[in-house]
Amino acid sequence: MTYENLDTELVNALLGNGRESLRSLAEQLDVSVTTVSNHLNDLEEVGAIEGYTPIVNYDRLGYDVTAILQLKVEGQGLLDITEKLRSEPQMVSVYETTGDYDIIAIGKFRDTDDMNDQIKRILGDTDVQESNTSVVLNAVSEYEQFSVDDGQEEG
C-alpha cells in the first residue's frame, strides 16, 4: 500500500473495529507497526480521531425515552443555552442550526418524568423564546458512522 491513502484506510479499519491492535492494523494495511502508530498519532494530534469509545445501547441500560428539543433562543443567550444543554448529562447531541429553530438537542431519558424534569429546567431559562419537543417512537438508525474516501475520483 502507498502511504498516500494510508490515513483513510486506517480510519476505515478503525471504524470496523476501534479496538484493533496496531499489529493487526499493520497486517491489514501492509505496513509496519511503527508506520501505523505514527499515522495514528498524527490523526489524533490534528483531531481527526478524537477518541475510542464504545457504542452504548442506552435502551438496554434503561434510558428508553429519546427526545428531540428544538429551541428558539434570544440572540445573546445562544452560547449560554448551548453550554447549559451540553452540561446536561443525558443530552447526547447539541446543535446550533439554521432554519426555524436555533438549537436542536437530543436527549436520552429513563422515562417521561425524567425527560419532563430536565426539559422544564431548560425551558425555564428566559433566553428560550419558543420550544418544540418530539419524543422518538422508534430509532430506525442511530449513531451510524460511514467510511471515508480519499477524495480522489475513481478513473
- What is the tens place of the pLDDT at every residue in 105-143? 999 999 999 999 999 988 899 999 999 999 999 999 988
CATH of domain 3-45: 1.10.10
Contact between 10 and 39 under an 8 Å Cβ cutoff? The reply is yes
pTM: 0.79
Q: Side chain identity at 111, as an amino acid letter?
A: D
Give the domain ranges of the chain: 3-45, 59-135
One CATH from 1.10.150.120, 3.90.1150.10, 3.30.70.920, 3.10.580.10 for 59-135: 3.30.70.920
Pairing of strands 128-135, 91-96: unpaired
What residues form DSSP beta bridges with 66? 108
Higher pLDDT, 55 or 99: 99
Contact between 103 and 84 under an 8 Å Cβ cutoff? The reply is no
Mean pLDDT value across residues 16-39: 93
pLDDT at 152 over 60: yes
Could you tell me the three cell numbers for 120?
A: 422544564
Mean pLDDT value across residues 86-97: 94
pLDDT at 138: 93
Q: Side chain identity at 75, as an amino acid letter?
A: G
Q: Provide CB contacts within 8 A for 111, sequence distance 6+.
A: 64, 65
Ranking 33-37, 56-60, 103-107 by mean pLDDT, the lowest is: 56-60
* Residue appearing with cell numbers 495514528: 40
Mean pLDDT value across residues 39-67: 92
CA angle 57, 11, 20 (to 5 degrees): 65
pLDDT at 66 over 90: yes
Q: What are the CB-based long-range contacts (under 8 Å, 24+) for 5-11?
A: 5/150, 6/31, 6/35, 6/39, 7/39, 7/42, 7/43, 7/48, 8/148, 8/149, 8/150, 10/36, 10/39, 10/40, 10/43, 11/43, 11/48, 11/49, 11/148
